[in-house]
Structure 1
């Protein structure tokens, strides 16, 4: 399935607008969670080649799906439902409904930036190629560029 080419800035703008309107009703943790993830999205826009930025934004979007479900279901107002409350709650719910589609688009961007087919989180699997690293039990001792000439076995000429 070919996904439409959508700019990451547009995804951020839509979710920022819906989050702002959702904050008319849901304050506190709802606002903190969503605006924090939008800040990660701004980082992903600023760092166009960063796999870390886009993967953290994607992971944050997935996390806020679950957080929004919990927050909206617990704090949905039961009384005094004014038009403003209906509008704010509706925008928060619309924001929640659009997030899975946004996750698909962001995952496509993640793959375009060179991300693996599967997301790997820290200890669950290697995140880099480690073949160029020197092993701990290597017989070679790396030279210290900050060591004094005496410690390297050289004595200055005047001594």
Structure 2
């Protein structure tokens, strides 16, 4: 099954909006947990090629699924909930329901950035091709970054 191409910024914006509305009813730990993970999402947007950023955002979003379930189940107001309170609680629950789908999309982005699972699986699809990488213990000498077009090195880089 092919996942739809969704921009990371859209995922971040939707969860930020739902978390902000969810904070109408649930504050404190709910807000801290969710906004901290959204900050990791901003890092993932800012550094498009960073596997660490997308991995931490994905892991944090998975953790907030569990934290949101616990927080909503413990602190859901049972009586005297106004329309605004019902709206805030509904948005927090909607955010919780959307998180597994967002995690699937983030996992797809994680794989596109070259990330792999921390355990070995052969049945989850092809792994990225790594034959073009130079190994650490390679005896090949890397090219001089300051070499001119004729291959001879220069004393200083251009522009100095």
TM-score (norm 1): 0.75
Residue 79 of structure 1: CA displacement? 1.4
Structure 2 residue runs of 5 or longer lacking an equivalent are 120-132, 138-160
Residue 23 of structure 1: CA displacement? 0.1
Partner SS state of residue 6, structure 1: coil
In structure 2, the residue matched to 1:49 is 49
Q: Say which of 132, 136, 145 aligns to 1:132.
A: 136
How many residue pairs match? The answer is 123
Structure 1 residue runs of 5 or longer lacking an equivalent are 121-128, 134-159
Partner SS state of residue 48, structure 1: coil
Q: What is the root-mean-square deviation of aligned Cα atoms in Å?
A: 1.4
In structure 1, the residue matched to 2:22 is 22
Larger Rg belongs to: 1
After superposing on structure 2, the runs of 4+ consecutive aligned residues of structure 1 that deviate more than 3 Å are none
In 2: Cα distance, 1:97 partner to 1:85 partner: 18
How does 1:79-90 map onto structure 2 within 5 Å?
79-90=79-90
Residue 63 of structure 1: CA displacement? 0.1
CA deviations on 1:89-127 (whole Å, 9 max, x unpaired) are: 0000000000000000000000000011x146xxxxxxx
Residue 81 of structure 1: CA displacement? 1.1
In 2: Cα distance, 1:29 partner to 1:8 partner: 25
